[in-house]
Amino acid sequence: MSPSRDDVLKALATVVDPATGRDLVSSGAAVGVSAKGGAVSFVIQVDPARGSAMEPLRRAAVAAVEALPGVEKVTAVLTAHADAQSSPRPAPKGPPPDLSFGAPKPAPASKRIEGVDRIIAIASGKGGVGKSTVSANLAVALAAEGLRVGLLDADVYGPSQPRMLGVSGRPSSPDGKTIIPLRNHGVTLMSVGLLTAEDEAVVWRGPMLMGALQQMLGQVAWGRLDVLLVDLPPGTGDVQLTLAQKAEVTGAVVVSTPQDIALLDARKALDMFAKTGVPILGIIENMSTFICPHCQGETQLFGHGGAKAEAARLGAPFLGEIPLDLAIRVAGDGGAPIVASQPGSPQAQAFRAIARALMAGALAPAE
């Protein structure tokens, strides 16, 4: 029988950090814990000053989990990019926040979000092209470049950013109205996934979706941000239209694979932004090429260069290529995007290059 997430947490609770005298669970160091089948993954957040000395603790945690019956594989990642706010917080005093996300509330007079300099939509016309993975890594990459970054997970039906950023716990509210987001890897995060169980379906019609987005934009205490990335759901529906109408969007980044069928849907996303007056800041080609980890041979599984050619056709910036790579997927599943967990890797540097391209364009300081 495969272990449950609770079984893994109990095992991790037996592992004590000798420097603090606290176990990995009660201290909030173990995050992003997942147990599916016999595969277990988790992230251990550590003080950056102690990063290189924490490998024995990671090995001890792996050994404790491997001892559980039914465990076949354990993936454990150390990250030194966590913020203090990412640790579980005690329940706040006062009334609970209104997180029901009912019908849309009246739009504010101004479309600007207080404290947020720029809003960038990350979109795709089609699901399955890795848009959320790109969003998470791009957010961490921009933070690593020194920007104050927020990430709004607007994919209400399939919120994946809490898992990818290794964030858990319910957001608090000091007054029952303002929602306090969570942080990790230098990124401030808000997601419906923080308000529901990971396996709980969100069954909402359009008005509920629009209400949820407006609340997450206007009732979240984002603080002072240089940029807020909005990870949009696939398609060109209610959420995309609401964002364009209710917020002052700096521009959109469209993610596609090189495959013709993905580019067909990417063109629909590009057309939607043109119709709503949102500038296109660039196109990213994800899963651009595959390098075999065994023979190092390169295979273009979905073709190559399609997104770059589409950007040239439209006169839009081509921001860069991201390879199809196992390490990127494992890092995301483990709650520490590869930009955070393996910052020196070629894969992480590809995301950093895209972040710098955005900073040189849409995010460049005004003269």
The predicted structure's pLDDT at residue 213: 83
Same domain (yes/no): 72, 116:
no
Asked if the structure places residue 268 within a domain, the reply is yes
> What distances in angstroms separate CA 253 from CA 183, 230, 293, one per listed residue?
23, 10, 30
CATH number of residue 70's parent domain: 3.30.300.130
Same domain, 31 and 106: no
Residue 238 has what pLDDT?
Answer: 80
Question: 280-285 and 251-256 as β-strands: parallel, antiparallel, unpaired?
Answer: parallel
Say if residues 232 and 154 touch (Cβ distance below 8 Å). yes
132 is in an annotated binding site: yes
Residue 88 domain-assigned (yes or no): no
Query: 37 a known binding residue?
Result: no
The domain total for the chain is 2
Q: Is residue 365 part of a domain?
A: no
Does 127 belong to an annotated binding site?
yes
Instruction: Give the residue numbers spanning the domain of 237.
Output: 97-360
Q: Check whether 246 is labelled as a binding-site residue.
A: no
Residue 367 lies in a domain: no
d(CA 237, CA 127): 13
pTM of the model: 0.69
Q: Which among 80, 105, 137 is the end of a domain? A: 80
pLDDT tens for the chain, residues 1 to 367? 788 888 998 999 999 988 888 888 888 788 777 788 888 887 777 766 665 577 788 889 999 999 999 998 888 776 654 443 433 334 444 444 444 444 344 444 447 888 899 999 998 877 778 899 999 999 999 999 999 999 999 888 888 899 999 988 788 877 777 888 999 999 999 998 887 777 777 666 667 777 778 888 888 999 999 999 999 988 767 888 888 888 889 999 999 888 766 677 778 788 888 888 899 899 999 888 787 777 777 776 666 677 788 788 777 889 999 998 888 989 988 899 999 999 999 999 999 999 999 998 777 665 5
125 in a known ligand binding site = yes
Does 172 count as an annotated binding residue? Answer: no
Is 231 within 8 Å of 153 (Cβ atoms)? yes
- Flag whether 321 is in a domain: yes
131 appears as a binding residue in the annotation: yes
| Same domain, yes or no: 48 and 152 | no
Residues 30 and 176 in one domain: no
CATH number at residue 279: 3.40.50.300
Do 49 and 118 reside in the same domain of the chain? no
The span from the CA of 140 to the CA of 257, in Å, is 21
